[in-house]
Amino acid sequence: MNYNMETINGLAQQLAEMIRVAVIEQQKAGEGTPLIAQIENGMREALRRIGQQALGMFLSSMQATPVSEIDCACGGKLHYQRMRTAQLISVFSGVSYERAYYAGCQCKRGKAPLDEQFGLEPGAVTAGLAALLALAGIEFSYDQSPKWLQAYLLFDIAENTVRSETEKMGALQQVHEAELIQQCQDEAYLQQRERHPGRIPLRIYGSMDAAKVRIEPRPKKGEKSVEHEDWRDMKVLSWFETETVPPAQRSVRQRQKAEREHLPLRAKNLRYFCDITEADQFGRLLWATGCSLKADLSPELIFLGDGAVWIWNLVSRYYPNAVQIVDWYHAEEHLETVAAAAFADPQERSRWLEDVTQSLWEGQVELVINAFQVLASSCSEAHKAANYFYTNAERMRYDRFRSAGFMIGSGSVESACKQIVTQRLKLPGAQWIVAGAVQTAKARAAWLSGHWHALCVRRSALPLAI
């Protein structure tokens, strides 16, 4: 919305004069000159009250002269009853306005056209406030969010309201994902997409992992209580592209990569998706989101992950031509675990670890497996590692991957697990029901993915612009 700057300047002058008079009166009363922070807070509160009154006046002013009757959605007629007062909770706190109300149809439904025009729901929060409440809900615990919001909005919001609006945003993300799943199963859509694909990423990465979420035990029918805790896997998917890290911005680890003749890369255009569900069901989300990003059409599709069987099963099923890479740092940790278990002498441990790490870096997985097998009879960790490396040998050809310029670390999805699960769902004392955990996580993933504006548009078909 555009505003006339001359009008804005005039209003600003009036507000400045109002504040100036209030300061002079305080000085005359012997209370001294207020500090700038006091003036700022006073001005914020004045602006909030002005916005509260102005929004109500604006909505009332948009009510046209009522007509005697209007069409009802059922096909009948609604008759004008009276001007009715309604209330909303907006970013300025409670707002009252008047609008024409119609009723009297055989379907027994009433209607206020002004509410439909601006996407308003009397007694509920506005779309603008809902977005702010949900932002607080994805960042802070639900019991702490109202304190944070009060400091910013200057009025109180109930904890349950924050929870409700956050989960609504997550539910909208669920709807969006369901639409993607349905769309990618439409043969006509897929054929049209292949004929007119638009921008196809030349190289795109996918990565999956899971993190535990504490689910509140709920008694089943007939049970009085449940004493055990239930921990469920929140599966997380990350799609991204990469770019070279400039020398001045490289971390210690990235500088070490450069010294090893591996170009340091970092993720960009990140998109996160998550759910608490079985692997087969998550695979549908994997395929649908990949299709939406043209991953299946990309000439180079690379998947990074640890050795979890469900990850590689899904990749092989939905993207059989993708390059599969076990995260370098995850593989390196296995070497360190074996070294610590097999060697008591620090120098011997260090020499062995240096040798096998160099072999792994050069893609000589068979040499690493042989080194494990030598130790396997006396070290169970070496026996397990030998089996793990044998199973994932072709996913550990790091010399080939580096030569192709591929990223070999799955830090993006590990970061996603931390940002989505650890930093929000694992706050001290947090317990969830499955639906609440999933919706909160999906809302947070949408924010981290830059998809928030689209959710806000979905939140209201005709959002009140403020």
- The angle formed by the CA atoms of residues 165, 166 and 167, to the nearest 5 degrees, is 90
Is the pLDDT at 207 greater than 70? The verdict is: yes
pLDDT confidence of residue 11: 93
Range with the poorest average pLDDT among 224-228, 274-278, 324-328:
224-228
Task: Tell the residue number behind the tokens 């043209």, with chain if given.
Answer: 294
Task: Tell the residue number behind the tokens 């002058």, with chain if given.
Answer: 13
Residues 327-378 have pLDDT tens digits of 999 999 999 999 999 999 999 999 999 999 999 999 999 999 999 999 999 9
pLDDT confidence of residue 72: 95
pLDDT band at 463 (very low <50, low <70, confident <90, very high): very low
Distance from the first to the final alpha carbon of the chain: 9
Q: CB–CB of 119/127 below 8 Å?
A: yes
The CA-atom distances, in angstroms, between 206 and each of 111, 172, 322 are 48, 24, 10
pLDDT confidence of residue 216: 86
Identity of the residue numbered 309: V
Where do the structural domains in the chain lie, given as residue ranges?
330-398
pLDDT confidence of residue 218: 66
pLDDT band at 466 (very low <50, low <70, confident <90, very high): very low
Taking the C-alpha atoms of residue 451 and residue 442, their distance in angstroms, rounded to an integer, is 11
Is the pLDDT at 228 greater than 70? The verdict is: no
User: CB neighbours of 249 closer than 8 A, spacing ≥ 6?
Assistant: none
**If you average pLDDT over every residue of the chain, what do you get?**
92
Is the pLDDT at 460 greater than 80? The verdict is: no
Range with the poorest average pLDDT among 6-15, 253-262, 403-412, 426-435:
253-262
Taking the C-alpha atoms of residue 270 and residue 415, their distance in angstroms, rounded to an integer, is 11
- Calculate mean pLDDT across residues 164-173: 96
Is the pLDDT at 79 greater than 80? The verdict is: yes
Query: Going by DSSP bridges, is the β-strand pair 77-90/93-103 parallel, antiparallel, or unpaired?
Result: antiparallel
pLDDT confidence of residue 221: 63
Q: CB–CB of 341/381 below 8 Å?
A: yes
- Calculate mean pLDDT across residues 276-297: 97
Tell me the chain's radius of gyration from C-alpha atoms.
Answer: 30
pLDDT confidence of residue 441: 98
Taking the C-alpha atoms of residue 91 and residue 85, their distance in angstroms, rounded to an integer, is 19
Is the pLDDT at 195 greater than 60? The verdict is: yes
Q: CB–CB of 357/260 below 8 Å?
A: no
**Burial letters for 204-220: b for 16+ Cβ neighbours within 10 Å, e otherwise?**
bbbbbbbbebbbeeeee
pLDDT confidence of residue 252: 76
Taking the C-alpha atoms of residue 76 and residue 79, their distance in angstroms, rounded to an integer, is 10
Is the pLDDT at 220 greater than 70? The verdict is: no
The CA-atom distances, in angstroms, between 71 and each of 78, 81, 443 are 6, 14, 37
Helix 127-139 and helix 159-183: axis angle, to 10°? 90
Kindly report the three-state secondary structure assignment for every residue of 387-427: HHHHHCHHHHCHHHHHHCCCCCCCHHHHHHHHHHHHHHHCC
Residues 26-40 have pLDDT tens digits of 999 999 999 999 999
Is the pLDDT at 465 greater than 60? The verdict is: no
Residues 176-188 have pLDDT tens digits of 999 999 999 999 9
Residues 436-452 have pLDDT tens digits of 999 999 999 999 999 99
pLDDT confidence of residue 307: 81
Residue 69's closest CA among 32, 35, 25, 101? 101
